[in-house]
Amino acid sequence: MKKRYIFLLIFIGIHIPLAIWYFNSPMSVANDEDTYKYFEDKGLECTVGHDSIYGHPLRWVEVSTLKEDSLPIVFFTHGAPGAANNFFQFLEDTSLLKYARLISIDRLGYSPDDQGNAEVSIQKQSEAIAKILTHYRYPYVIAVGHSYGGPITSNFVLNNPEKVKAAVLLAPAISPYEERDFAIVKFTEWKATSWAVPPFFMVAAAEKKAHEAELRKMLPKWGSVRTSFIHVHGTDDKIVPYENIEFSKEMIPDSLLEIVTIDGGSHMTPWEDEELVRELLLEQLKTSSSPK
């Protein structure tokens, strides 16, 4: 199967930045059995949750060493393509587990039972987050989103400001004015090449084609920001331009916005800058205030 994907990348002559993204991020989805085994090997107990929404199976992974409803939740939302296991390095982090219940989602279209069933609506993707949270009691949420998970996280936060203490956006693709085109999207449309495209890339391509229009639908919501946002972005991001920072500055009041620039940083923030992300989350968790 991996040879099939490698062949695809070579065959279409995809440009280097997206190829680097593919080979360096954990695209494969961990099924329930592998997920339980992964955390068991780490000496941790996880829960794989299941539900459904808008005709999609809904799947998430939760780790908590303190089974208390009083714990805040740190919720992780991956990009396109991606999976819940993109954030397993945080779900196993004992320093975070001292303060919070940690949850990572397989977004609609990416879970083992939903591969290839694209859901391009940012609103519906964010409602999946809200539905998962109905399974828990908690004082507040810290919502983390990477790449295309950034606008989904933002939409959830803008819809539910009373539930969220802070949004942490990692290289988020939130600006409709900074959409970057990728050659691979065309090759998902042609019969001569689409056969070689794995299902998760077909979903990512569908999201890509609809993304600018979906981001424009969100524009009116940014006028009522009530939540703190932390925007983390690398200056050498070849997938989602660093200029998305300017969109955050325009849409979010200075009093609610923290910009974290990673000089020379790429798009791989959750993996290359794991310690930075951990410290940002701990900073939020160690302060006691909840959403106003």
pLDDT values of the chain reduced to their tens digit, one per residue, 292 residues: 454 455 445 444 443 444 444 433 444 567 999 999 999 999 999 999 999 999 999 999 999 998 777 899 999 999 988 999 999 999 999 999 999 999 999 999 999 988 888 899 999 999 999 999 999 999 999 999 999 999 999 999 999 999 999 999 999 999 999 876 555 554 445 454 444 456 666 788 888 888 999 999 999 999 999 999 999 999 999 999 999 999 999 999 999 999 999 999 999 999 999 999 999 999 999 986 666 5
Distance CA 239, CA 21 (A): 8
Q: Name the nearest CA neighbour of 30 among 63, 61, 64.
A: 61
Which pLDDT score, from 0 to 100, does residue 18 have?
44
Distance CA 196, CA 4 (A): 6
Which pLDDT score, from 0 to 100, does residue 209 have?
86
Contact 201, 81 (CB under 8 A): yes
Distance CA 84, CA 35 (A): 10
Q: Which fold has domain 2-285?
A: Rossmann fold (3.40.50)
pTM above 0.85, yes or no: yes
Which pLDDT score, from 0 to 100, does residue 205 have?
81
Beta-sheet strands, E only, within 79-227:
101-106, 141-146, 164-170
The type of residue at 53 is I
Which pLDDT score, from 0 to 100, does residue 83 have?
93
Which pLDDT score, from 0 to 100, does residue 15 have?
39
Query: Residue 222 gets which letter from DSSP?
Result: G
The type of residue at 83 is A
